[in-house]
Chains A and B, each alone.
Chain A
């Protein structure tokens, strides 16, 4: 008897629009395979990444057990919590870690299998013994399960089952940004991912690579067969499996519209970002590596508003030397001369760990030893970076920006170190250029004293992602409260107004970098509040230019002044949609405006 084969039904999945565009293609599922218990022989090139993922998994489990221990201490007392101390000790046991690493490095086993056999041997040995020792096997099993749970939910720990020959839509539970980079250019046509949102790092990457993406599809990947055909609508956040003829016809037309709008948008490249009544708004790009520099020109940006220098420090065991850094900075500033290039000094710590420096696990990494705090403590590292920057400042249009400023003392200390470095370089025979120095404002406390900060710098840049997160006390990566992450919350908009007013009073410009800059409605509100410059992913620049060229600055100012009177996001968004929706629709960039915030 044959099992009944049910014909698969057309089904529509709604997720979160993360990167605009449409694709009709076959799927390729990414499996959580790297930490499968089954043995997989890896290549020597992969040993480092396997070991790194193993360490990261252990680190996460340690974090989890530590918080469990702290909770137990509070609820039950120190004695009851002692078992967790032993668990933590087992997790960092040098002989266990050495054994696992040796199995990866020398025997070329995948991390999951290596950990599996080490733990199984231990568990078996304990089970063989008597009495109290036998019970210890249970502790080990508990640790074993926890580690596997974490290794499997770690988004960077995924691999694709086999090589991709033709263009596909990747599906799976989650995908890390590194994963995407493993594929040949053009092989990934789209992303349809079960977890994540428009603000996930991979979404940002998808937008800059112009790959349509839908995130947060919950259980899509499980319901798909291998190589199943689907339609991915990254503009509206929809996936259709088993599409019928009408769907395919409809989306073929959509793809055509999209291509035309894309061509249309490219005509924006050489035009100025200027409003109908003549107000010039700088549209800069965010970049992470110097390879991004040529992109800046091809998308018609007016400069770089945020160069994330920490990427020079990631993925290596030693710190980049001054000359290595100078070369990387020079690559961007010289190439883009005379466009301004704003380089943010090392913004590490928190969730962005450097493997070259051992950092402790923190309970609140976002509010911890990171960014400028880290740099002011580790002046050896900070000075090397500043000197590299000063060294290349003689040509091009370089600006230096200090991240996460919370008060005047940090600015003063950072500037003092900067001046010190200038003196030292002068002694080395360098000509010291005049470089503008700015502060990044992302802490609500800094907003309260913004006039004091504005007096001490040459420009301000608002990091909206963190400012919103800290102002509203909302962790945007927590799905349960992510709807509370409201970019148009009156507290956020009023904070931005305070920053703009203080900057203008001090005679300096204000820029906004952060996801908010690439949302059309937000761009208009911020422009109306008086923001002078925006910095966004390169791809969004042309649509933003088109938007700016379609409005009157005076009107936008008046609407934002009105917006400041509203008591909550809902009324603000309703008002904004009334004022701007039609205008945005008429721009003919509909394929590019995802429903990401509204």
Chain B
């Protein structure tokens, strides 16, 4: 099991597109992926769950990843957050 804490650094927070980007990684993964934010824990393979949390810019979120490809998933998520979901640059 891997726990990975990441900061939401884009200007709009986790709205539909970033949530989609996350699910693109978590959805096909063999591992289970959960996200903890503001005391709530949700299935991070569900775009709706992610959107419902209304995660605002500057927040810290924690991913709990458990399974054979957990390292790969953790790395990809880190990369995604580091790049601000590839949206602020464009």
Contacts and interface: CB of A to CB of B under 8 A. Distances in A.
A132 B47 contact: no
B15 A82 contact: no
Contacts, number: 46
A129 B12 CA distance: 14
B49 interface: yes
Interface in A91-135: 93-96, 122, 125-126, 129, 132-133
Given A93-B48, A132-B12, A82 B43 contact: no
Interface string B22-35: 01000100000000
A95 B46 CA distance: 6
B20 A136 contact: no
Contacts of A132: 12-13, 15
A133 B50 CA distance: 11
Interface in A124-170: 125-126, 129, 132-133, 136, 139
A90 B47 contact: yes
A571 interface: no
B20 A89 contact: yes
A482 interface: no
A477 interface: no
Given A89-B23, A93-B46, A95-B46, A82 B54 contact: no
Contacts of B51: 126, 133, 136
A568 interface: no
B45 A122 contact: no
Contacts of B13: 132
A122 B48 contact: yes
A86 interface: yes
A67 B36 CA distance: 35
Interface residues of A, number: 19
Interface residues on B, range: 20 to 34
Nearest to B90: A79
Contacts of A136: 15-16, 51
A95 B15 CA distance: 18
A129 to B, nearest CB: 5
Given A82-B17, A82-B20, A96-B48, A133 B54 contact: yes
Contact of B47 (A79, A89, A129): A89
B68 interface: no
B54 to A, nearest CB: 5
A96 B49 CA distance: 9
A136 B53 CA distance: 13
B1 interface: no
A85 interface: yes
B15 A133 contact: yes
B2 interface: no
Given A125-B52, A133-B15, A133-B51, A86 B46 contact: no
A125 B90 CA distance: 30
Contacts of A83: 16
A94 B54 contact: no
Contacts of B27: 89
Nearest to B12: A132
A122 B20 contact: no
B69 to A, nearest CB: 17
A94 B45 contact: yes
Contacts of A122: 48, 52
A94 B17 CA distance: 18
Contacts of B90: 79
Contacts of B16: 83, 86, 136, 139
B90 to A, nearest CB: 8
A347 B52 CA distance: 44
A129 B54 contact: yes
A90 B48 contact: yes
A85 B23 CA distance: 11
Contact of A86 (B12, B43, B45, B47): B47
A79 B90 CA distance: 10
A368 B10 CA distance: 42
A85 B20 contact: yes
A114 to B, nearest CB: 15
Contacts of B46: 93-96
Contacts of A85: 20
B15 A94 contact: no
A95 B12 contact: no
Interface in A56-97: 79, 82-83, 85-86, 89-90, 93-96
Contacts of A82: 17, 20
Contacts of B23: 89
A409 B11 CA distance: 58
Contacts of A95: 42-43, 46, 48-49
Interface string A238-278: 00000000000000000000000000000000000000000
21 contacts: A79-B90, A82-B20, A85-B20, A86-B17, A86-B47, A89-B20, A89-B27, A90-B48, A94-B43, A94-B45, A95-B46, A95-B49, A125-B52, A126-B51, A126-B52, A129-B54, A132-B12, A133-B51, A136-B15, A136-B51, A139-B16
6 closest pairs, A vs B, by CB? A95-B46, A89-B47, A86-B20, A86-B16, A93-B48, A132-B15
Given A93-B46, A95-B42, A136-B51, 18 more contacts: A79-B90, A85-B20, A86-B17, A89-B23, A89-B27, A89-B47, A90-B48, A93-B47, A93-B49, A94-B45, A95-B48, A96-B46, A122-B52, A126-B52, A132-B12, A132-B13, A136-B16, A139-B16
